[in-house]
Amino acid sequence: MVGSKSKCGACGKFLASVDGVNCACCTKLYHRACVGLPAGAVAGRTWKCPECTSKVPRANQDSTPVRAPAVSPPLHQSCGESPQAGPTLDTTITEFRESELALEFRQFREEMRQTRGEIRAFRQDMQELRMAVGACDARLDKLETRLMELEQRKGGEAGGVVKALESTVAQLKMELNDRDQELLLNDVELSGIPEVGGENPVHLFALCAAKLGVTLDEREVVSCARVGVTRAAERGAAPRPRAIVVRLARRAPRDALLRAARVRRTTTTEGLGLQGAPQRFYVNERLTKTNRHLFYRAREAANRLDWRFVWSRDGKIYCRRASGSAGHRIRSEADILSVFGPGYSKEEAVIMK
């Protein structure tokens, strides 16, 4: 049985087993047209191809080969039929190849026709896709325009509302800070006193008041304690002592103590019986956390811009450029910016850049 993908022994092209004939000697498969067999002829089991026939010796002499005939040898016909002369081999091969070429051209034309149809359909799909994308772009442009208009409209309204809210919040913060500061009107803060274990803060405060020339009865002291966290030592020095916060029962002793501290600014701990070398101590009114931060920022700005005076009175912070110039009240960061201008501190200078 010959495979379905055998090649013709004469022309070398593929052929089906049902369309070819087998040689009994070399078992090669041939096109009927390539070996000159008519379409209706039947090849016997002993049929030999022209090449094998030419090799058959004559008169039993093995050395004498037989020349291959120009056409195929006689064929075994079916019973009752006389042999028929077929066309020449060259003519048959030429006609067969022409028919094959014509068939291939027809198939190629059919494939090209189908390809053109597919290309037309693809173009139509692309055109529809472009139209759909264009419609989507137009809708997106409209939506974007409407969104921008809405943002501008709402942005103006929202911006005004936000500014009003921010102003209200800032005002409420200042009012709360003022109320908190009013609660500290009877408090003073004593700093610079060395801190030791087992000390009596009330006794230390009474000694410092006496050193300033103010005699206080211990019954005037409502509370007295050190506040804050212990600060780390700097460059091997002793840790900075925490401040002593004192709340007095009346405001008059507190005012007298602050006036005496302003007069005797160079008073030290000498003679108080404290360990270590004498050092200066300070008595100031107690400020809220917000006012303490504002006082620090105001002093920093004044030092940078050579302003001479920054002070606090009754919990309120003031500053003045020089003697005789107008004083300014500091209640918020905005006031510092307004009084000292942009770049009044390192942080503000960085922000302005």
Q: Which of 247, 270, 286 is a domain's end point?
A: 286
Residue 82: what pLDDT? 43
Tokens for 23, please give them.
């040689």
Question: Same domain, yes or no, for 141 and 162?
Answer: yes
Tokens for 291, please give them.
């006012």
Residue-wise over 289-316: b if at least 16 C-beta within 10 A, else e?
A: ebbeebbebbebbbeeeebeebebeebe
Question: Same domain, yes or no, for 280 and 191?
Answer: yes
Backbone φ and ψ of 8, nearest 5°: -70, 135
The helix, strand and coil proportions of the chain, stated in percent and rounded to the nearest 5, come to 45, 15, 40
The answer to whether residue 99 is domain-embedded is no
Question: Same domain, yes or no, for 312 and 278?
Answer: no
Q: Identify the sign of the CA torsion 177, 180, 186, 189.
A: negative
The answer to whether residue 227 is domain-embedded is yes
Question: Same domain, yes or no, for 201 and 282?
Answer: yes
Tokens for 256, please give them.
């007298």
Domain assignment of residue 314, given as a range:
288-353
Domain count for the chain: 4
pLDDT by residue, tens only, the chain of 353 residues: 444 457 888 887 877 766 778 888 888 888 888 887 777 777 777 888 888 888 777 655 555 555 544 444 444 443 344 444 445 666 777 777 888 888 888 889 999 999 999 999 999 999 999 999 999 999 999 999 988 888 887 767 767 788 888 889 989 999 999 999 999 999 999 999 998 888 999 999 999 999 999 988 888 999 999 998 876 655 555 678 899 999 999 999 999 999 999 999 889 988 888 888 888 999 999 999 999 999 999 999 999 999 999 999 989 999 999 988 899 999 988 899 999 987 665 554 444 33
pTM for the model stands at 0.51
Q: Which of 286, 301, 320 is a domain's end point?
A: 286
Residue pair 95/33 in contact by the 8 Å Cβ criterion: yes
Q: How many other CB atoms are there within 10 angstroms of residue 276's CB atom?
A: 9
Question: Same domain, yes or no, for 126 and 159?
Answer: yes
CATH code assigned at 224: 3.30.70.1820
Residue 350: what pLDDT? 44
Residue 232: what pLDDT? 61
Question: Same domain, yes or no, for 207 and 280?
Answer: yes
